[in-house]
Structure formats: C-alpha cells, structure tokens
Amino acid sequence: MSITIDFLYWPECPSHPDAWERLQKVLAETGVEAQVNTCVIETEAEAEAADFLGSPTIRVNGRDVDPQTPAGAPARLTCRLYFREDGRPSAIPTEAMIRNALSDVQTLKEK
Amino acid sequence: MKIGDKAPDFTLPNVDGTKIALGDLLGKNKAVAVIFSCNHCPYVRGWEDRMIAIQADYAGKGVQLIAVNANDPVKYPEDSFEAMKQRHASEGFNFLYVRDESQEVARAYAAERTPEVFLLDNTGTLRYHGKIDDNYEDAGAVKAHYLRDALDAVLAGKTPPVAQTEPQGCTIKWK
C-alpha cells in the first residue's frame, strides 16, 4: 500500500508554515516515503467539498491525523484547534499525531 | 487605528448581563486593554492563560482587560453569546467578555484577528497594538512580553518599548 498525505490549508490562518515544517520533520525522522499533496482551500465551497475542518488539516491515506476529530464536525474557513498531549491547545497537529497516523498506515501495509 | 489615535467609544453587553461602556472603564482605570477575541480560535485558547494572568497581576494597578467577541455566531455557534457565557464561567475568566453582535466595534477598530490587542491609556489613546507576547502556545517559552511591557510603560507614563506588533491569530468571522 502506498502512502499518500494530503496537506490542506487556508492561507489566512498563519499556522500552515509551522505545520508543514512539522510534517516534513516527522517524514525525515521516520524515513517514511509518501506522496504529499498540498491543497489550498480558499472558499467556503471548497472547504465543504473537501470536508475541511480548519487549517491545517492533514490526512494520511484519507484519514485525519487527529484521532479526536469529532464525527460530523463542520467544514469551515478558520484555524483548526488541536490539543497537545498535556492538554494545552495548539494550532497545529502534534508530532505524535502525525507519527501515529503514519505508523497506523504502515502497520496495515505490513499485514 | 494608528498608535496615538483616540479609540472609538462603545457600549456592549457583558456575559454577566451588564452593559460595559469603554468610557466608564477609562474613567476608572489607568489603562484598558481591548482584546478582540473569541471562543474557538486555537491562538486565543493558547493565550487565554496569559490574559487571565495579566488581569490578575495588573488589576491592582488600575488595568482592565476587556475581550470583545464579534464573530458570526451563525457560522461559528461556539462563539454565540450563550457559549461565551459558558466559557467565561468554565475557564474562570477574570476579565470582561463582551459581545459585539453588530460587528460595528470590530470594524471601528479595524480589527482583523483574534486575539488582537489595542492597549489604551486613560485618555483612550492607543499606546500598543498587536499580540500579547511572542509565543501563543507555551507561556514558559515567551521571550518578548509585549503587552506586559507596554502596560508597565503606560503605567509609568512612558512610551511602550514596542508599540506595534503583527497580530497573530484567526481572522474575525464577518457576517
């Protein structure tokens, strides 16, 4: 199974450069080879069409890296709220979220 | 609004049911920090502990923080007045939290982000504009305490060492 990562962001939210840097760091550290697609979301219609829950949204093989993503969360143009392991809020996914999402896909790949 | 400009006056409903007039706050305090804010933004959430700490540390020095939420509650229900009341209670906010339903105040201030600070001296003159500090995510890693430094300067009758920074946060959700 190949690995595809979708990196979706809304340019008006300032968090996407940090999120992109974090994603690249995790990919470099894990040595995971993946096809990374970036998608710029600029309108509410685009957000709806892409089920964009806020900026940034990162999906590994279609699955959101944040395991706490509520089902049916509305698509919208804003910065997305994440929570770090210690409970503090953040505007970007944690390294652990990205690592775990990659690990889950690799585990499936090995089976 | 530019540094040195007089801030537009406003009267807005507070989460406790009272009406808050900026003019009254200016008459009772040495400085007022008007902070455009909201419930849903991760940057606001990250900085909230600093807002509470600053209000606690400076209340006795004649400083009042007032958070103004102008976000469209239809598209962002967690920013409704009712949700503001709930968050104010659950998080133990010690600062004022008012609703700008018409968004006229946000437009009058030309505010764009949440959070976005407009620090006024007791004449209502803008003395600092921008972000609270340089690290929304980690209070322990802050190197530049912009709002605290500006407050100290205003209280001492001096010019803030940094009067303007780029606000960092979500956009205000216009109707």
* Spatial contact of A73 and A53, defined as CB atoms under 8 Å apart: yes
* Spatial contact of B146 and B173, defined as CB atoms under 8 Å apart: no
Q: How far apart are CA B174 and CA B151, in angstroms?
A: 30
Mean pLDDT value across residues B8-18: 98
Could you please report the per-residue DSSP string of A53-97?
Answer: -SBSEEEETTEES-TTPPTTPPP-SSBPPEE-TTS-EESS--HHH
Tens digit of each residue's pLDDT (9 = 90 or more) over B14-42: 999 999 999 999 999 999 999 999 999 99
Higher pLDDT, residue B43 or A73: B43
* Range of the structural domain that residue A31 is part of: 4-110
Fold held by B11-171: Glutaredoxin (3.40.30)
Could you please report the per-residue DSSP string of B124-154?
Answer: -BEEEEE-SSS-SS-GGG----HHHHHHHHH
Tens digit of each residue's pLDDT (9 = 90 or more) over A23-64: 999 999 999 999 999 999 999 999 999 999 999 999 999 999
Residues in CB range of B98: below 8 A, 6 or more apart: B12, B13, B14, B15, B20, B66, B67, B68, B69
pLDDT for A8 equals 98
* Mean of per-residue pLDDT scores for chain A: 93
* Spatial contact of A98 and A22, defined as CB atoms under 8 Å apart: yes
Q: Residue A72, Cα to own-chain centre: how many angstroms?
A: 17
Tens digit of each residue's pLDDT (9 = 90 or more) over B55-111: 999 999 999 999 999 999 999 999 999 999 999 999 999 999 999 999 999 999 999
Cβ-based contacts of B168 with chain A (< 8 Å): 14
* Spatial contact of B34 and B120, defined as CB atoms under 8 Å apart: yes
Q: Model's pTM, two decimal places?
A: 0.95
pLDDT for A71 equals 81
Locate the chain A residue with the closest alpha carbon to B45.
Answer: A89
Query: For residue A69, what pLDDT band results from cuts at 50, 70 and 90?
Result: confident
* Number of domains chain A is built from: 1
Nearest CA to CA, how far is B60 from chain A (Å)?
28
pLDDT for B136 equals 96
Q: Where are the domains of chain B?
A: 11-171
Tens digit of each residue's pLDDT (9 = 90 or more) over B35-53: 999 999 999 999 999 999 9
- B170-171 vs B113-114, strand pairing mode: antiparallel
A79 contacts B46? CB cut-off 8 A? no
Tens digit of each residue's pLDDT (9 = 90 or more) over B92-104: 999 999 999 999 9
CATH of the domain at A41: 3.40.30
Closest CA to B149 of B166, B128, B135: B128
pLDDT for A109 equals 60
Q: What is the ipTM of this complex?
A: 0.92
pLDDT for A72 equals 83
Cβ-based contacts of A83 with chain B (< 8 Å): none
Tens digit of each residue's pLDDT (9 = 90 or more) over A84-96: 999 999 999 999 9
- A82-83 vs A89-90, strand pairing mode: antiparallel
A76 contacts B171? CB cut-off 8 A? no
The answer, yes or no, to whether residue B129 has pLDDT greater than 60, is yes
Q: How far apart are CA B9 and CA B130, in angstroms?
A: 19
B76 contacts A90? CB cut-off 8 A? no
Structure tokens at A25: 């760091």
Pairs from B53-56 (Cβ < 8 Å, separation ≥ 24): B53/B139, B54/B132, B54/B147, B54/B148, B54/B151, B55/B94, B55/B95, B56/B94
The answer, yes or no, to whether residue A111 has pLDDT greater than 80, is no
pLDDT for A106 equals 75
pLDDT for A110 equals 59
Exposure string of B28-46, with b = 16+ CB inside 10 Å and e = fewer, is ebbbbbbbbbbbbbbbbbb
How many inter-chain contacts (A to B, CB under 8 Å) are there? Answer: 40
B170 contacts A76? CB cut-off 8 A? no
pLDDT for A1 equals 64
